[in-house]
Structure 1
Amino acid sequence: MADVRDGVGVYLSVFLLTVRDWNPQEIGIVIAIPGIVGILVQPPAGSLIDHTKYKRLLLIGASLVIAVCCLIVIWSGEFYPIFISQAVVGLTQSVYAPCVAAISLGIVGHAMLSQRIGRNESFNHLGNMLAAIVAGLLGRFVSYEAIFYFSIFQCVALALGVLVIREKDIDHNLARAASDNDQATDDNSGVLALLTNRNILVFTIAMALFHLANAAMLPLVGQKMGLVDKQNSSLYLSAAIIMAQGVMVFVASYASKVSENGRKKVMSIAFLLLPVRAILFAFIDNPYALTATQLLDGIGAGIFGVVSIIMIADLSKGTGRFNLLQGVVYSAIGLGASISSIVGGIIVKQYGYAIGFGSLAGIGVFGTLFFLMLVPETKEINATECVEPDKLKKALT
């Protein structure tokens, strides 16, 4: 699943530029649309996963749809078919992360979730690393089209792999973090009910701030490498991604274990690394040093990927809205990441890379302080202490 859920987006821009001869504006629109759609559909997708018992079928269906979208990219060079296919990719991507987390929770329960999520993320990063290596070799020695056929193969393999999970092993009530006597019901005020919980609200804002500081860094580092050594910039960037993913494999496993002694102090490390990394990027020009610095992202992202899901499970325990909360948080993350890329690009264009990375460092410092001062320790927290939506409506009225 590691590579499938991204819909080969990282290679699509190069394919459209070098093989299809698209202009940068068209490519930018097509690359942006999955993220925009994802921001809009994550909460309803999470709510759907809370209420359905066909979680395996959702994963299989999403994988087959992405396979079809890859075929459209290969067979069509026209703007609108590929635009629509990428919008569909954004729609289907929204089910992967919450579905796998829900199935994991439904199988192992809260007590074992941190270990399971750590294992999930270790294999996720290992898959990303191996897929990047294979795709890079295919693109270099076969063709760019071969990368998309490789993705189709992964989609089919994923669909078969999901069937290995036994339906009887999944407790669907537990999978949405419901209490023992709670049954799934339709709740149109679910998002409002979650965000009227102060702990959930500040946690969601903190996750968005993390990506507001983080998302623009790697693309800007890639651009900076291109200015220093245009011929080998893609090689440096690929090395940075592969090295970071390799670090994440081990960090994810370790983070799941130490988070049993407290989630917040482990997540704090990921936040603290944000401004450090940004400052280093601002003042380093050597491509080898830039590549090595990206290893810090392996530590931060490895921690974030594991502990964020565990904290979401803590905050939603007993509410029956685990997957809805995942959707809300992922939407906030997507929004933060989108703004980061836009704002980071504007600042760099106007004032240069040093100011651009310095600005991201400032956001990282603010996000770190916000997290440390306002977000509580979630282990053993009472997640059900929410302000009722009707009370909030009365107050607003």
Structure 2
Amino acid sequence: MATMEAKTRSLKGLDWVSLLMSDVKDGVGVYLSVYLLTVRHWSADEIGIVIAAPSIIGLLVQAPAGALIDRTRHKRLLLIVASLIIAVCCLAVVVNSSFYPVLFSQLGVGFTQSVYAPCVAAITLGIVGQAALSQRVGRNESFNHLGNMLAAIIAGLIGRYISYEGIFYFAIVQCLLLVVAVLVVREQDIDHDLARGATAETGQPASVAGVKELLSNRNILVFTIAIALFHFANAPMLPLLGQKLGLADQKNSSLYLSGAIIVAQGVMVFVAKYAGKASENGRKKVLLAAFVLLPVRALLFAFVDNPIALTAIQLLDGIGAGLLGVVTLLMIADLSNGTGRFNLLQGVVYSAIGLMAALSSIGAGYVVKNFGYMVGFCVLAGMGGLATVFYWLLVPETKDIELAAPAGPEVALEAQGA
């Protein structure tokens, strides 16, 4: 059994992984859309396709990736390989200006980024267990948002005073530092049964629920739909904001965009820690605030044009995303507790998110191209309102929810082979 001192080292390693993972998992994320618009002079619909590409691939590989993470004992290796691939993809964007090379680089990002969130969540659960998960997830998310904030400050300064290409080289450095941070986490501190949400009676092997049983659960279904609807409304919002800022003031666009990210991420650092503690008394009402703020933010983006005001509105995103990042993972852990399918369920949920984000990014690009940014943001506000109503009416409280326990010989056989 791992000593407390050894686990402390691994938990500190998780802090650094969460801090450095920030932009790595998205391959510089929103900066890509501004770079392609203001430096490469791409059209909004081309940018929408490229931005949607990682989500499309994530849709295909997220669930299999989750199943792989449930089974593998090489979770750290997966994070290391993914980080190196992301570094190569960032380099490809800088050295190529045509559509297809950049598109293929983003398909590579989508293929590899699917392992980050479930791997870190699995390692966390495998170290601390279900009982301590709420506060530890809050801590992970706080460090992740702090990393996003620091990365945005550095990227904004690089984009303004050096070059936009420099932001991509900065992301490559982050990838290499993340590899070092992953190695700080000790393999022997990870309980791989705990890491997949499996439980065992005394003297019995951990049992694993059937995939059909898991996916036919009504509570899991409505929760997945609600989260997917949220991301349908949310996914294109920051890229569209970046484009709106870029058209308003191209020279200072990287600073404004970084300011918007910094405002949001700075708030998330504190909100995520609060969300972890507040969720110990129930998940649903905590997450409701994130849903309510989504359409409000979209409407403000639609009717406000001042770059400083647009930057300040991102305060609402900080509150909403800070809650969402923590509580979504906790609700997935609740719904999969005892099934041995924690990471598979993460993969299913993130696949649904990927589908809706891809459709939304492509659709928003065409709406903006033909009707303008105001209409685009209003459409996203309407979808955010629909997501809020659906969530409140149909998604149950998941803390201490009782799920059907896996039973029967077919489950025992699957437990041996999974």
TM-score tier, shorter chain, comes to 0.7 to 0.9
- Number of the residue aligned with 1:146: 166
Which residue of 39, 54, 78 maps to 1:58?
A: 78
- The offset of 1:21, in angstroms, is 6.9
What do you get for the CA RMSD once the two structures are aligned? 2.7
Letter in 2 for 1:315: L
- The offset of 1:22, in angstroms, is 6.4
Letter in 1 for 2:222: V
- Number of the residue aligned with 2:259: 239
- The offset of 1:75, in angstroms, is 4.3
- Number of the residue aligned with 1:376: 396
- Number of the residue aligned with 1:296: 316
Higher mean alpha-carbon deviation, 260-269 vs 216-225, is at: 216-225
Higher mean alpha-carbon deviation, 238-247 vs 219-228, is at: 219-228
- Number of the residue aligned with 1:177: 197
The alpha-carbon distance between structure 1 residues 365 and 69, as it changes in their structure 2 partners (threshold 3 A), is closer
- Number of the residue aligned with 1:118: 138
Q: Is residue 2:277 matched to residue 1:277?
A: no
Q: Is residue 2:270 matched to residue 1:250?
A: yes
- Number of the residue aligned with 1:394: none
Q: Is the 8 A contact 2:155 2:258 kept in 1?
A: no
Q: Secondary structure at the match of 1:143?
A: coil
- Number of the residue aligned with 2:11: none
Superposed counterparts of 1:43-192, under 5 Å: 43-76=63-96, 80-180=100-200, 181-183=204-206, 190=211, 192=212
Whole-Å Cα distance in 2 between the matches of residues 220 and 28 of structure 1?
Answer: 9
Whole-Å Cα distance in 2 between the matches of residues 278 and 22 of structure 1?
Answer: 24
The alpha-carbon distance between structure 1 residues 362 and 309, as it changes in their structure 2 partners (threshold 3 A), is same
Which residue of 27, 35, 40 maps to 2:55?
A: 35
Which residue of 21, 24, 27 maps to 1:7?
A: 27
Q: Is residue 2:304 matched to residue 1:263?
A: no
- Number of the residue aligned with 1:393: none
Count of aligned pairs: 386
Whole-Å Cα distance in 1 between the matches of residues 44 and 384 of structure 2?
Answer: 30
Letter in 2 for 1:110: Q
Q: Is the 8 A contact 2:52 2:357 kept in 1?
A: no
Q: Secondary structure at the match of 2:397?
A: coil
**Mind listing any 5+ residue stretches in structure 1 that lack a counterpart?**
391-397
Q: Is the 8 A contact 1:202 1:374 kept in 2?
A: yes
The alpha-carbon distance between structure 1 residues 275 and 140, as it changes in their structure 2 partners (threshold 3 A), is closer
Whole-Å Cα distance in 1 between the matches of residues 348 and 28 of structure 2?
Answer: 24
Which residue of 195, 204, 208 maps to 2:215?
A: 195
Whole-Å Cα distance in 2 between the matches of residues 8 and 269 of structure 1?
Answer: 28
- The offset of 1:78, in angstroms, is 5.8
Whole-Å Cα distance in 1 between the matches of residues 388 and 40 of structure 2?
Answer: 43
Letter in 2 for 1:383: L
Residues 192-220 of structure 1, C-alpha deviation per residue, up to 9 Å, x if partnerless?
43220000000000001111222233333
Q: Is residue 2:377 matched to residue 1:357?
A: yes
Letter in 2 for 1:34: P
Higher mean alpha-carbon deviation, 22-31 vs 340-349, is at: 22-31
Whole-Å Cα distance in 2 between the matches of residues 32 and 152 of structure 1?
Answer: 21
Whole-Å Cα distance in 1 between the matches of residues 247 and 94 of structure 2?
Answer: 31
Whole-Å Cα distance in 1 between the matches of residues 41 and 293 of structure 2?
Answer: 39
Residues 52-108 of structure 1, C-alpha deviation per residue, up to 9 Å, x if partnerless?
010011111111222233333444556554443332221110000000000000000
- The offset of 1:268, in angstroms, is 0.7
Higher mean alpha-carbon deviation, 334-343 vs 316-325, is at: 334-343
Whole-Å Cα distance in 1 between the matches of residues 116 and 308 of structure 2?
Answer: 35
Residues 261-305 of structure 1, C-alpha deviation per residue, up to 9 Å, x if partnerless?
100010011111122223333333333322222211100010000
Q: Is the 8 A contact 1:196 1:387 kept in 2?
A: no
Q: Secondary structure at the match of 2:401?
A: coil
Q: Secondary structure at the match of 1:115?
A: helix
User: Normalising by structure 1, what TM-score?
Assistant: 0.88
Q: Secondary structure at the match of 1:2?
A: helix
Q: Is the 8 A contact 1:73 1:82 kept in 2?
A: yes
User: Normalising by structure 2, what TM-score?
Assistant: 0.84
- The offset of 1:328, in angstroms, is 0.7
- Number of the residue aligned with 2:17: none
- Number of the residue aligned with 2:14: none
- Number of the residue aligned with 2:325: 305
Q: Is the 8 A contact 2:45 2:366 kept in 1?
A: no
Residues 154-198 of structure 1, C-alpha deviation per residue, up to 9 Å, x if partnerless?
21211111111111110000000011244587x9x62x4322000
Q: Is the 8 A contact 2:48 2:361 kept in 1?
A: no
Q: Secondary structure at the match of 1:377?
A: coil
The alpha-carbon distance between structure 1 residues 184 and 44, as it changes in their structure 2 partners (threshold 3 A), is farther
Residues 327-374 of structure 1, C-alpha deviation per residue, up to 9 Å, x if partnerless?
111111122222333333444455554444333222222211211111
Residues 16-56 of structure 1, C-alpha deviation per residue, up to 9 Å, x if partnerless?
56666767666554433222111111000000000101001
Q: Is the 8 A contact 2:160 2:255 kept in 1?
A: no
Q: Is the 8 A contact 1:66 1:92 kept in 2?
A: yes
The alpha-carbon distance between structure 1 residues 13 and 350, as it changes in their structure 2 partners (threshold 3 A), is closer
% identical equivalent positions: 69
- Number of the residue aligned with 1:395: none
The alpha-carbon distance between structure 1 residues 14 and 282, as it changes in their structure 2 partners (threshold 3 A), is closer
